[in-house]
């Protein structure tokens, strides 16, 4: 993976992981599909894109069990 683009902007940055979540840097709030606001409490959050997470909108690595990459028990 190549380095994040450098520059003077301090805005939000989103990186989509193949077969995985979207890594979101610099977000304050993520709105889920019901319009509910979830505060981003860490510098980088992983937003679930597979829809299978048990703690939506955040990724909990369930995508790995669900046919993506195999899981470690």
| Tokens linked to 51 | 């829809």
Q: Does residue 29 touch other proteins according to CB under 8 A?
A: no
Binding site for ligand FES (CB under 6 A): 20-21, 48-50, 52-53, 59-63
Q: Does 40 bind other proteins (CB under 8 A)?
A: no
Angle at 55 between CA 51 and CA 58, to 5 degrees: 70
Q: State the alpha helices, DSSP H only, in 1-73.
A: 62-65
Least distance to other proteins from the beta carbon of 34, Å? Answer: 19
CA distance 62 to 53: 6
Q: Which of ligand FES, other proteins, none lies near 58, with the C-beta cut-off 5 to 8 A by kind?
A: other proteins
């Amino acid at each position: 993976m190549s380095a994040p683009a450098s520059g003077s902007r301090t805005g939000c940055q989103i990186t989509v992981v193949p077969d995985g979540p979207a890594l979101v840097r610099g977000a304050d709030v993520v709105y889920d599909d019901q319009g509910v606001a979830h505060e981003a409490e860490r510098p980088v959050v992983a937003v679930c894109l597979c829809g299978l997470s048990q703690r939506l909108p955040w990724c909990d690595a369930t995508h790995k069990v669900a046919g993506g990459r195999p899981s470690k028990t």
